[in-house]
Amino acid sequence: MSGGLASRRSLVLGTAGLAVLVGVGASKLAGTVVRRGMPIERLMPGRPVSESVTLSLSGPEGAHSSLVSRRGAPFLLHVWATWCPPCRHELPALAGFMRAWGIDFPVVPVAVSSGSPDDVRAFLDRNGIADLPAWTVDGTALKDWYRAAALAIPVTFLIDGAGRIRAPAAGPLDWGASDAVGALRRVLADMTA
């Protein structure tokens, strides 16, 4: 009888151990799955839906910039956070997109509610995303500008040459699509046409 009990116990423990291993493996895999976002060409410019953006950005080592300086040409304001899982999945593709575009890329990535610019730079470096600028924006100022009590992130705003929102895109964008650069060039051309 003790042989049957030991056999049953081994079966139960073996099954439980396998379930734990599968669960741990699945949770690790879930953390590395890259999900595709919305196609960039869906950022179709509509009528202006905001006042001109006047947000001030902070960068590492005390650097400052204002989005007012971007007026004259359309651009994307991409808001993300270090604690946001979809943002973390999207950032490597965004960095690759920016490299593919070249030096005059029309995307301003900005972290919100993520600590100081130096904290954001350390986060990017730790995660192998050294090419992405480490700009931050005050969350209250962002909500005041967008006139929202809450803001889901990641979110990307298509901003016209006068600094007004022409299209928002809640959620990740598919920066890694084979024609992402061409798609954004077409969207921006529609803004100036």
Looking at residue 104, what is its pLDDT? 84
Same domain, 17 and 89: no
Strand order in the sheet with 64-66: 64-66, 56-58, 135-137, 107-112, 75-80, 155-159, 165-170
Alpha helices in the chain (DSSP H): 2-32, 85-101, 117-126, 139-146, 180-192
Write out the residue range of the structural domain in which residue 9 sits: 1-33
3-class secondary-structure state, position 15 = helix
Count of domains observed in the chain: 2
CB 79 within 8 A of CB 153: yes
Contacts of 49 (CB under 8 A, 6+ apart): 164, 165, 166, 168
- So what's the pLDDT on residue 159? 93
Regarding whether 29 and 119 lie in a shared domain, the answer is: no
pLDDT along the chain (193 residues), means of 10: 54 41 36 64 84 88 90 93 95 93 90 94 94 90 83 92 91 93 91 73
Q: Please indicate, yes or no, whether residues 27 and 121 belong to a single structural domain of this protein.
A: no
The pLDDT value recorded for residue 84 is 96
pLDDT score recorded for residue 124: 96
The pLDDT value recorded for residue 54 is 87
